[in-house]
Amino acid sequence: MTDYGEERRKELEALEAVYPDCFIVLSENPPNFTVTVTSEAGENDETVQTTLKFTYSEKYPDEAPLYEIFTQLNLEDNSVADIL
């Protein structure tokens, strides 16, 4: 039997270790968090940034997480569609 809570906890710890400066836990029940991604590849050398918000279901990892673009900076609409 899968211990979903333990699986989610371990994954959150791993994500925090991999993304220490851009990973924020918003709540633990249900587990949801953000990851901010920044690039200098925008037009005119502008910073392009997006924050993705993920929410784990009770049966994660057997069920996919919910995700959305939480915030964005200098990101074009067609790029948003590509991300989603």
In this prediction the pTM is: 0.81
CA distances to 15, 30, 36, 41 from 20, in Å: 8, 21, 11, 22
SS3 assignment, position 82: helix
Total domains in the fold of the chain:
1
Q: pLDDT 10s digit of each residue in the chain, 84 long? A: 679 999 999 999 999 999 999 999 999 888 999 999 888 765 677 788 889 999 999 999 899 999 998 888 887 776 666 666
* Full domain range(s) for residue 14: 4-83
User: The CATH number of the domain where 75 resides is what?
Assistant: 3.10.110.10
Place of tokens 């989603």: 84
Query: What is d(CA 25, CA 4) in angstroms, rounded to the nearest whole number?
Result: 18
Is 75 strand, coil or helix? coil
